[in-house]
Structure 1
Amino acid sequence: MSSSECFENPPILSSTFGKGIVKELGGLKTYVAGTDHSKLAIVLISDIFGYEAPNLRKVADKVAAAGFLVVVPDFFNGEPYDLDNPAMNRESWRKAHPTDKGYEDAITVIVSLREQGVTSIGAAGFCWGGVVVAKLAKTDHIQGAVILHPGRIPEDEVPEIKIPTAILGAEIDHASPPDQLKRFGEILAAKSEVMDSFVKIFAGVGHGWTMRYNREDKWAVKSAEDALQDMLNWFIKHVH
């Protein structure tokens, strides 16, 4: 789990935002965008503020427009972290929603997609979700991974990554410092004979910048859009 940066500047939640629909998938309430007939699927795994975040659903809609079936499961079962709830304890919330459980739930969702006829799957994770995607990238369950401003990923897990993986980080980030992400990139680059990898650090932005940016800040908006375009390009390249 990442440090306190994840708990700053939460998005405004909306249960109705987005062009897709909400239905059950793998036992979880899931926002679904795109055509059910696509054989290519992308699983988006949220930060701690949950699957209803408008910016996350906007990303899902954009990726779906490129021809993917996009699913955004509610890994928190209706209990995203809420900064406005004084009764919600940060450490208790973390313990109740460990990334190991997120990984197990993600596998269940992926199995359900396979049962629907999906043949190739990518996964992208933001902060908390980035840690989950790092775990998925150590398996054959997905074909491409994108990790965006992740929480704390143990360095000894990185050599176990076995599928094409892109890491998009922020210049100002105590949870996943640029130097650490660059080390991760060096580890992955050493495996270039067996997999593709990509690490990019975005200047002038902080942790969570792809989801929680100031819409009045043109630089912040452009940085988020550039990162999400990199994510989409990665999926187009590796999920086919």
Structure 2
Amino acid sequence: MSGPQCCENPPTLSSSCGAGHVEELGGFKSYVTGSPDSKLAILLVSDIFGYEAPNLRKLADKVGAAGFYVVVPDFLYGDPYVLDNAERPFPVWIKDHGADKGFEEAKQVISALKSKGVSKIGAAGFCWGAKVVVELAKCDYIQAAVMLHPSFVTLDDIHGVKVPISVLGAEIDQISPPELLKQFDEALNVKPEVDGFVKIFPGVAHGWSMRYKDEDEAAVKCAEEAHRDMLDWFVKYLK
């Protein structure tokens, strides 16, 4: 294995896929889709492979079709992780792309959305993006949060969450193993003021909701179940 589990199965990136378009928002190139007139926005924060991942854009389109204005910012500045790059292995690459920096940048995008008249914002983060989202959820910048196969998220992070949060994890995950997710669940259960939901998907590995192959029917089915769970959470708390 060339890097940690989050680096496996990289997608083939494409700037031309999806029903939406790329525009600048809050100082960042962003893939936007859905109704620009909606007062309900969803921020999708990518994994280490960035905002051009076709499956991420397809999911953004799906969320947009449900009545949300969806924004997928390029918090990696056109520098997604490249597998097998000997000059910039993962430990080197990640130093240039800390989730703490992503959190500060997400606040700029949220400010831009509010200036457009958006009244409620949900955020979902995938792998690397989950750490960005949990930081937002600790500070009331958003009204609902979803983390899918999170990386770098700690139990202390969960203790600090202030908004409804859904955690969708994998049974086969060295980064956020089921044992950790069960601790997340226990921590949320003793926070009656915050609605929390934790689900461990059986038989799938870290990254399953994004890095599936279209021809793999079982993988697509599992990914779509996670996508439905994510969308249901946003409908419940934003609409």
* Match in the other structure for 2:37: 37
Deviation string 1:69-101 (CA, Å, 9 cap, x unpaired) is 000000010000011544323212111000000
Deviation string 1:150-209 (CA, Å, 9 cap, x unpaired) is 0021211211101000000000000000111111011111112x1211100000000000
Deviation string 1:106-134 (CA, Å, 9 cap, x unpaired) is 01100100011000000000000011111
The two structures have a TM-score, normalised by structure 1, of: 0.96
Q: Is 1:220 matched up with 2:219?
A: yes
Size of the alignment, in residue pairs?
Answer: 237
Q: Is 1:166 matched up with 2:166?
A: yes
Give structure 1 stretches of 5+ with no counterpart: none
Farther off after superposition, 105-114 or 76-85: 76-85
Matches for 1:117-136 after TM superposition, within 5 Å: 117-136=117-136
Farther off after superposition, 49-58 or 80-89: 80-89
Report % sequence identity.
59
1:220 shift after superposition: 1.1
Alpha-carbon RMSD: 1.0
Matches for 1:16-35 after TM superposition, within 5 Å: 16-35=16-35
* Match in the other structure for 1:103: 103
Q: Which amino acid aligns with 2:39?
A: K
Give structure 2 stretches of 5+ with no counterpart: none
Deviation string 1:19-59 (CA, Å, 9 cap, x unpaired) is 00100011000000011110000000000000000000000
Cα distance in 2 for partners of 1:120, 1:182 equals 29
* Match in the other structure for 1:181: 181
* Match in the other structure for 2:207: 208
The two structures have a TM-score, normalised by structure 2, of: 0.97
Q: Which amino acid aligns with 1:222?
A: K
Runs of 4+ in 1 over 3 A off after TM superposition: none
Matches for 1:116-155 after TM superposition, within 5 Å: 116-155=116-155
